[in-house]
A and B are shown apart, each in its own frame.
Chain A
Amino acid sequence: MIELKNYAISRRLLLKSGFLTIALSIFSRGELFAEVVPLETIALLQEDLFPLAKELESRSDLYMLIILSHSKIAKKDKKFIRNGVKWLNEEALSEYKKIYTKLSSKQRQSLLQKISKERWGEHFIYTILQYTLESLLGDPIYGINKNQKGWEWLEHKSGYPRPKSAFL
């Protein structure tokens, strides 16, 4: 379960990003099969794609809330993230009869290998990796990259001045 209270993500932002935190119904052959909380799928996917991000406390999952309500992210890109979560779970159901978060680590990696061969899947993996790297290496003013651990990992020194506020 995702713990929100420790993070600098506002309640307003959370409400605006309802899609990620409210259960999504996944259908298989026209029948309701399961309900998933999209943010849980994304959080686990981010761990599978770039485990270091969680180890360095990048808060990658919560950064997705910023992305899903960001004024400069196009509607089509937000929609693609939503669809990607749905399609990934549909693939999981079709392969293993379970939603993504219920699969074993080995099954998840195997599923990722499979979808990476499809156009949408490759693009989805790239998209989530992109935002995960942003949360690992962006400025901590966004509530990410805790204590600049991501920058430290790559021996990176930020440019100055650093931002005084987040651009949302």
Chain B
Amino acid sequence: MYDVCIVGSGAGGAPVAYELSNAGFSVVVLEKGKYYKEEDFSKDELAISRRDMYSPKLEDEYHIIKERTQDGSIEVYDGREYSWSFWNGSMVGGSSNLMSGYFYRLKPNDFRLKSTYGEIKGANVVDWPISYEELEPFYTKVEDVIGVSGEVKAHSFLEPRSTSKFPYTALQENGVTKWFDKACNELKFESIPIPRAILPIDALKRGACSYSNFCGSYPCATGAKGSSRAALLQKCKAKIITEAFVYQLISDKSKITQVKYFDSSGKSHTIKAKIFILAAQPIETSRLLLNSKNSFFPNGLANNNNQVGKNLIFSAGGTGKGRFYFENLSKNEQETLMQRGLFFNRSLQQWYEFEAEGKKYKGGTIDFLFEHSNIISRAMREIYDDKGNITWGRDLERKIKKTLTTSRVLTFEVFNDWLPTNECFVSVDESKKDKYGVNVGVINLYGHPHDLKVGEFLAKKATEVLEKMGAKEISMSISSSPPPNLVAGGCRFGENPKTSVLDKNCKSHELENLYITDASFMPTGGSVPYTWTIYANSFRVAKHLLGVMMEA
């Protein structure tokens, strides 16, 4: 019997594996994907971006998506038919291998959204059971252990910090950031350098960033990116069982007793442990609990109050872009524009909170970055002309050549709160099975109209910067379509068992040895990418667990 069994090896599971195994406890991690290491990684666009090498094949494993529109009707999509994937990296280290590593802390007000901004009709906004101050030491720990680089710059919404600097200096930046800073200066906007979970130098027994020009969506071949694999799992003694798909948890009335998993040949295995941690990403974590019902928990494990899967959230917002053409630039500026490999790393958080009609609203974050370097994707974007007609032949060839060699696109991403609602949740469909014969997860989607209003407000600010910089063809797209890699909630933590699944230590209210440490615990998501918070919270839970286990 192991001391601890962890399901999932990403940013949620790995900190617990790292801390507890380094403290001498026996830890086993069950990971559905394979174990790839630095030497296995390349920048193969066909494999990674076109063929989704690190995701399951949708024919084998899929979701049913039920999307609730603003008029209340529900559209049903079979993920296989619509090629709609919610998988984010089945591999040791999970999607933290593939992240861009844009690292933001939540702000103090993100922990008390309801008491600061009040209720919003139709949304289940609540305060967190912990404060920013309780999580701050763990944000700092992540900076040191995972490795965060950047420059701390004062701005209107800089969160309180217990240290004055990041442990690593900022990565090298593309010269166009100077155009950005100048435009922001003229607009009186606060340009902020984005901290990254990427090492600029050899450190922590990992290599420095190689500025390969292919970072987001690609695993890192030098180890510079702070994936949970490179930063934690490769540095601890936790046993990792790969290609292990956990399909059921077995419990009595108060404890999980074992987990069952299928290996790659479909053979079933059992693992026993004293404590079980779920960290399979929110959709799969809720699905596993719902699929593990028994006589003590007829609605699914830890679900006697019907809270499992509820209040699923994503990051709301959207994207936009503007294009810089050679014809508007000097020779030097053209060269600066086309500098490859260097990072853009700029964001705006000036409207993390804003006022409209005399009322305070929660706003969000805007990241700016160059269009991804994937050459096939960029060429394919030219297939349709400005009027929406498909083109081919010499016309298309000329269009691709001109666009890709004499212009470059600066994009922006808006992050604002996806309000939790009764209509956005995870369930299972007992009539539909995946390749393992297990009920597939159903993603019930709904975006609150308020999310769109905030997203549009922020996107307009972003377009002002692009305009001031001289970009052309500026556009924005704010929608309630969910980014599959920015998912949270489903097993929110809270004081009241009737409205939450987990207590403040992320232990299930209903089962004494079940913890959940992926983004499921988040009752609201903040207006930034989640990864830093997931890491920090998992270190926080690990500390609590160490106390519990030492005592035992």
Chain A residues in the interface with B (C-beta under 8 A): 48-52, 70-76, 109, 112, 116, 122, 125-126, 129-130, 133-134, 136-139, 141-142, 151, 153-164, 166-167
Lowest 7 CB-CB distances: which A-B pairs, in order?
A159-B43, A159-B214, A167-B47, A163-B44, A163-B42, A72-B51, A49-B392
What are 16 A-B pairs with beta-carbon distances under 8 A? A48-B392, A49-B393, A72-B52, A126-B383, A130-B380, A133-B379, A138-B50, A153-B401, A154-B405, A156-B375, A156-B404, A157-B213, A158-B43, A163-B42, A163-B44, A166-B47
Question: With A72-B51, A154-B404, A163-B44 in contact, do A129 and B375 touch (Cβ < 8 Å)?
Answer: no
Residue of B nearest to A125 (CB): B390
Return A13 CB to nearest CB of chain B, in Å. 15
Chain B residues within 8 Å of A109, by CB: 393
How far is the CB of B376 from the nearest CB of chain A, in Å?
5
User: B475 at the A/B interface (Cβ < 8 Å)?
Assistant: no
- B81 within 8 Å of A (CB atoms): yes
Across-interface contacts of A70 in B (CB, < 8 A):
51
Tell me which of B41, B46, B53 contacts A139 (CB under 8 A): B46
Q: Is the CB of A161 within 8 A of B41?
A: yes
Q: Assuming A51-B397, A137-B379, is B57 touching A74 (CB within 8 A)?
A: yes
> DSSP class of B's interface residues: helix, strand, loop or mixed?
loop
User: B residues engaging A (CB < 8 A)?
Assistant: 41-47, 50-53, 57-59, 80-81, 83, 210, 212-214, 218, 221, 340, 373, 375-376, 379-380, 383, 389-390, 392-394, 396-397, 400-401, 404-405
Contact B373 A159 (CB under 8 A): yes
Besides A130-B383, A156-B404, A162-B43, 6 more A-B contacts (Cβ < 8 Å) are: A48-B393, A125-B390, A138-B45, A154-B405, A159-B214, A162-B44
The distance in angstroms between the C-alpha atoms of A156 and B400, with both chains bound, is 12
Note all chain A residues with C-beta closer than 8 A to B400.
154
Complex CA–CA separation, A154 to B59 (angstroms)? 35
Residue from A48, A50, A139 in contact with B44 in the complex, judged by beta carbons closer than 8 Å: A139
- Name the residue on B nearest A139 (C-beta): B44
Contacts of A73 in B (CB 8 A): 51
A72-B53, A167-B44 given; A160·B397 CB < 8 A = no
How many angstroms between the C-alpha atoms of A130 and B400 in the bound complex?
Answer: 13
A48 cross-chain contacts in B, Cβ below 8 A: 392-393
Using known A-B contacts A125-B390, A129-B383, determine if residue A71 contacts B375 with beta carbons closer than 8 Å.
no
Residues on A with beta carbons closer than 8 Å to the beta carbon of B401: 153-154
CB distance from A97 to the nearest CB of B (A): 25
Partner of B57, one of A52, A71, A151: A71
Is B390 a contact partner of A116 (Cβ separation < 8 A)? yes
Bound-state CA distance A155–B400 (Å) is 12
Smallest Cβ distance from B397 to chain A, in angstroms?
A: 5
A-B contact count (CB 8 A): 106
Least CB separation from B42: chain A residue? A163
How many Å from the CB of A142 to the closest CB on chain B? 6
B389 neighbours in A (Cβ, 8 Å): 116
Considering residues A49, A116, A122, A163, which has the most beta carbons from chain B within 10 angstroms of its beta carbon?
Answer: A163
How far, in angstroms, from A52 to B383 measured CA to CA in the complex?
15
Interface-central residue, B46, B53, B212, by most chain A CB under 10 Å = B46
Q: Select A50's contact among B83, B218, B392, beta carbons within 8 Å.
A: B392
Give A164's nearest chain B residue, CB to CB.
B42
Which B residues touch A136, using CB under 8 A? 379
Q: How far is the CB of A39 from chain B (nearest CB, A)?
A: 19
Q: How many angstroms between the C-alpha atoms of A160 and B373 in the bound complex? A: 13
User: Given known contacts A125-B392, A129-B392, A155-B405, is B43 in contact with A74 (CB within 8 Å)?
Assistant: no
CA distance A113 to B182 in the complex (A): 48
Q: Please tell me if the beta carbons of A74 and B212 are within 8 angstroms of each other in the complex.
A: no
Residues of chain A lying within 8 A (CB to CB) of residue B53: 72, 167
A122 near B390 with CB under 8 A, answer yes
Q: Which residues of A have CB within 8 Å of B383?
A: 126, 129-130
- Point out which of B43, B389, B404 has the most chain A C-beta atoms below 10 A from its C-beta: B43
Cβ distance B225 to chain A, nearest Cβ, rounded Å:
14
Q: Which residues of B contact A138 (CB under 8 A)?
A: 45-46, 50, 376
* CB neighbours of B390 from chain A (8 A): 116, 122, 125-126
A91 to chain B, nearest CB (A): 16
B340 to A: closest C-beta gap in Å: 6
B42 cross-chain contacts in A, Cβ below 8 A: 159, 161-164
Taken together as a complex, chains A and B put the C-alpha atoms of A112 and B390 apart, in Å, by: 11
Contact B404 A160 (CB under 8 A): no
Q: How far is the CA of A76 from the CA of B214 in the complex (A)?
A: 31
Of the listed residues B58, B83, B392, B405, the one surrounded by the most CB atoms of chain A closer than 10 A to its CB is: B392
Question: Considering only CB atoms, which chain A residue lies closest to B222 in the complex?
Answer: A161
* CB closest residue in chain A, given B340: A157
Rounded to whole Å, the gap between the CB of A103 and the closest CB of chain B is 15
B397 touches A52 (CB 8 A): yes
- Residues of chain B within 8 A of A137, CB atoms compared: 45, 375-376, 379
Q: Say which residue of A51, A74, A130, A163 sits within 8 Å of B80 (CB atoms).
A: A74
Q: Is the CB of B58 within 8 A of A74?
A: yes
Least Cβ–Cβ distance between A123 and chain B, in angstroms = 9
Which chain B residue shows the least CB distance to A136?
B379
Given A116-B390, A157-B340, also A75-B51 (CB < 8 A): no
Q: Who on chain B is nearest to A112 by CB? A: B392
Complex alpha-carbon distance, A166 and B81, angstroms: 27
Task: Enumerate chain A residues within 8 angstroms of B392, measured Cβ to Cβ.
Answer: 48-50, 112, 125, 129
Q: Would A133 and B376 count as touching, CB distance under 8 A?
A: yes
Bound CA–CA A116/B393 (angstroms): 13
Do the beta carbons of A161 and B376 come within 8 Å of each other?
no
**Alpha-carbon distance A133/B383, docked complex (angstroms):** 10
List residues of chain A with CB within 8 A of the CB of B57. Answer: 71-72, 74
Tell me whether A74 and B83 are in contact in the complex, defined as CB-CB below 8 angstroms, given that A49-B393, A50-B393 are known contacts: yes
Q: Are A50 and B45 in contact (CB under 8 A)?
A: no
Please, which residues of chain B bring their CB within 8 A of the CB of A50? 392-393, 396-397
- Give the Cβ gap from A70 to chain B, nearest Cβ, in Å: 7
